Structure 1
Amino acid sequence: MAMNKLLLILTAASIITILHRTAALPAETLTNAADTLSNSGYVAMSLTLNLVSDVLLSHHNSATVFTPPDSSFSDYGQPSLTILQLHFSPMAFSLQSIRSLPYGTKIPTVDSGTFLTVTTRSPSDQISINDVKIVGSPIFDDGSLIVFGIESFFDPNFTVPDPPVPTARLDHCTASFADNSNFSFHDSANVLISRGYSVMASFLNLQLLGFITQPTLTVFAPSDEVMVDYSGRFPDYQSLFHRHVLPCKVSWRDLINIDDGTSFDTYLEGFEIKINRSGGSFKVNEVPITFPDMYYSDWIVIHGIREIVSLPKPVDEAIDGDGDGDPFDDTPASTSGRELIASGPDRSEF
């Protein structure tokens, strides 16, 4: 067992070591997406993506594109930029994550403050957004840019015919455990690996939280590219992982309904994550959420985030204000630095 953990630690370290920072949505990704669209019969959106990507996606390192067929472009004529903005979301939504979203859930677009609405009424129904059905599997998906075919253009004047029943807003995070000692992070870790979050997958497999029975968790996962700064910093791994994990499940629909500024305790004692929302932007401690509900089950949900959630700088360093401090400094100022270790089904609140 000890040898297996050592191997996992070395694996995580080696993954971090070979990483290099890459630009968000690089030109190669957009070119590949445009080529795939053209080869799949979506020539109009292929040309459109080449024309408008600099305008609509230049500030985003993830996106979901919903593309109508060429026949819709022919019938509609040249769509305005306002119409096109409805078809671009600044977050990556996989097929699984969209399917997990209940009726009435909002999906942000690149037009700040404008949202699409999930209109799938039953898990067995074909997925629909703004009453427009998604056609099959993604046309293109490289983990950061995902492209879906849809039956027609979204209506900018669409309103939900049957408003969803309001859900209770989360304002605290309570740890809970199921009576199941045979749980596994295998499926969630595999999804993380396939999406470019291999380091966080290794941390999950390491069982750094020491659970004996199945917990309820939310994981905010930084991508591999931003983990390069932690190469070889073995003593920091536990703190790094624990401050990205909540002891309760907070899905994308929960995040949409949470009051701006709501804070939740993490598994790093004394350290909180604050949810901030502005228009279509959602952040945890000022770090943008880029891939909501990347993995979703009845006991764990994983959201991809753009950067590492950092600890506050030491008080003396903050007072100096020289700006030369390590942005990933693991010397906590207002936290004790001690981790909450769940050794059993303790159902006390955090």
Structure 2
Amino acid sequence: MASFLQLLLLFSLSFFSLSSGVPYEAILDAADILLDSGFISMALTIEVVAKTLLLQSPSLTVFAPSDSAFGKTGQPSLDLLRFHVAPMPLPAQSIRLLPSGAKIPTMFDKNSLVVTTPPSDRRISLNNVRVNISPIYDDGFVIIYGIERFFDPNFKYVPPHRRSHPNPACGATNETVSSSNSSKEAVRALNAGGYSVMASFLGMQISIDETPMTVFAPADNAVVSHLGNFSDYPSFFLRHVVPCKLLWNDLVDLSDGSEIPTYLDGFSINVTRASGILVLNGAQVFFPNMFYNNELVVHGVNDVLATDEKTQEAAESSSNLEAKRDDEETLFDPGEF
């Protein structure tokens, strides 16, 4: 679901410069660690192709097949090697947060790796190949994980069947649907409206042929001002996505205190009203129904959806503002004149 220029560490490479690559010394250090760890074939391969392959990005993640995998397949082609390199740092905690079906772009043209980790399994797998989640090498810019065999570029992901769970905030019409064009159309709408970061998130990480969903999209400037740590990106996106369709009419019908579950485990969106304005975790819907069809709804919001602590602060601020207005109306009563 992504092109090379859309990466931004899983979500928007437009905020990073590609003018300089990983220092060659870092590649040599990584090769030495691979040698010491028993990944001799991959260590020698990285040294050979470093200047033509690995120095094209300021950061990267390498998935290193074992020596036995090299022995079975022989020396891999350059394209196959590219398929084992993601031009971004992927810490273990970030990979663990990616849901099954999420796509990780690689340096092999427009080919992506697919997360195939079962929801109940602590082990990580990509393209049905188990990944040793303890990095062999990690200096913050280059991260290397060991894998048991080569990834198959022709791998086809089949989404697991999911049961529909009752959601009081969703209507009864949120049955499973399918449309391969929904995400592409929504991405175009987001990009056109100044929501390119969320467009990259949506284009890369969500497979909307599994269930209907609603995306609450903050504008680019709001996202940039709230995100700092690379590991925050996956959880940030998942807390802005709801696993059901909620059009604007559905949202305004929700009562104060309603909780809307999101794709981020344990995180819900709290519905409140301040002076009659609908507020979702401290954010207001600025562009309702920016995009919608039978499978997907996208609303533009004026800020990121705050965590519980920030939501409480926003609620208290709104409450204080309303109290101040009430006091002002009491002091100035037109009926006295």
**TM-score relative to the length of structure 2:** 0.48
Per residue, is there more helix in 1 or in 2? 2
For the pair shown, which has the larger CA radius of gyration, 1 or 2? 2
- RCO (CA 8 Å, sep 6+): is it higher in 1 or 2? 1
